[in-house]
Amino acid sequence: MTSNAINAVELGIEAIGNPGLARGNPIERHYRDVLCSRIHTPQNDAILGAVGRAAFALPSRGAQA
């Protein structure tokens, strides 16, 4: 999930070119924000595990049985 978001913003920067990295360009801010998601959000394995449990209606990790 996180890597897909990063890839999407990087594609936008590639399409725009160097101006996409200039301060004041909205995509530059999106790029900084999405790169921070590597640190500040659950990692892909945690996200995919939660999605899988939800898809199969399994209790979340740590839930009382």
pLDDT of residue 62: 64
Helix pair angle (2-16, 26-40), 10° resolution: 160
**Low pLDDT (below 70) residues in the chain:** 41, 61-65
pLDDT of residue 63: 61
Q: Are 37 and 2 in contact (CB under 8 A)?
A: yes
Phi, psi of 27 (to 5 degrees): -70, -25
**pTM for the whole thing?**
0.58
Domain locations along the chain: 2-55
pLDDT of residue 57: 87
